[in-house]
Chains A and B, each alone.
Chain A
Amino acid sequence: ETGVTQTPRHLVMGMTNKKSLKCEQHLGHNAMYWYKQSAKKPLELMFVYNFKEQTENNSVPSRFSPECPNSSHLFLHLHTLQPEDSALYLCASSQDGSSLGAGELFFGEGSRLTVL
C-alpha cells in the first residue's frame, strides 16, 4: 500500500459509544495530523504529531483523544461524542512538521463519522 490509509471509511456511532479511527502512512514521513472537515467550513486542524510527540492541540474537546505510537500510525479515540461532531475526519502526513513550507501535506481519504 502507498500513501495515507484511513480506516474505517464510514462510522456510525451513538453518543455513548467508544470507537477509534486509524491512520497509517507509508511515505516515511515524520509528522502526522488530524483535520476535521465539515460542510462549508475550512478544514480545521485538530492535532499535530512530530516525531511521535504531540506539538499541537487546537483546543479540541477531550472527547477526542489522539494517540501516535510511532511515526507511521495515528489514532483518534472517540467517546461520548455529540451529533455536532459528525464530519469527515482527515488524516495527513508531511515530511517534517517543523518545516511545513518545505513540504506538502498528504491526506488520506477520510473517515466519515455520523453521531446519532
Chain B
Amino acid sequence: QQQVKQSPQSLIVQKGGIPIINCAYENTAFDYFPWYQQFPGKGPALLIAIRPDVSEKKEGRFTISFNKSAKQFSLHIMDSQPGDSATYFCAGGNQGGKLIFGQGTELSVKP
C-alpha cells in the first residue's frame, strides 16, 4: 500500500523530444506528489510538485499530469535539452508522514 511504482527505469531521447515518466501509487491518503531531479554526484532537488485537487501543473518546460481516479501521475519535459539528463524520482506523501519514492528514471537527452 505504501509503494510508488515508477517507469521506465531508463529513457533516451533526442534533444527537443518530450520524455514522459510515469508513476502509480497505492496509498489514497497521499496528498502531495513531488518530482525530484538528481544530477550525478549531487543530492536530489525538488523540481515540481502537485496536489490532487488539480489535474495538471506546469512550471517552465516541466509539466505534471495527475489522474486521481487512476492513482497515476506523470512528468513531461517539453523541448528537452542535454542539460536535463539526470535521474528523476517521483514520490507520494501526506501530512505528518514521510515521502515514499519511486525507484527513479535515468534520463539521457542526446544532442
Contact = CB atoms under 8 A, between A and B. Distances in A.
27 contacts: A4-B43, A40-B104, A41-B103, A42-B4, A42-B100, A42-B101, A43-B44, A43-B89, A45-B99, A90-B43, A90-B44, A98-B95, A98-B96, A99-B95, A100-B95, A100-B98, A101-B32, A101-B51, A101-B94, A102-B95, A105-B46, A105-B99, A107-B43, A107-B44, A107-B45, A109-B41, A110-B43
Contacts of B6: 42
Interface string A36-67: 00001111010010000000101000000000
B19 interface: no
Contacts of B97: 100
Q: How large is the interface on B (under 10, 10 to 19, 20 to 34, 35 or more residues)?
A: 20 to 34
Main secondary structure of the interface of B (DSSP, over half): loop
A42 B31 CA distance: 19
Contacts of A105: 36, 44, 46, 99
Interface of A: 4, 40-43, 45, 48, 56, 58, 90, 92, 98-102, 104-110
Given A40-B9, A107-B44, A109-B43, A100 B96 contact: yes
A102 B94 CA distance: 9
B28 to A, nearest CB: 15
The 6 closest A-B pairs by CB, nearest first: A107-B43, A101-B32, A43-B101, A104-B46, A42-B101, A42-B103
Contacts of B95: 98-102
A105 B43 CA distance: 11
Contacts of A104: 34, 46, 49
A108 B93 contact: no
Nearest to A3: B43
A36 to B, nearest CB: 11
Contacts of B32: 100-101
B42 interface: yes
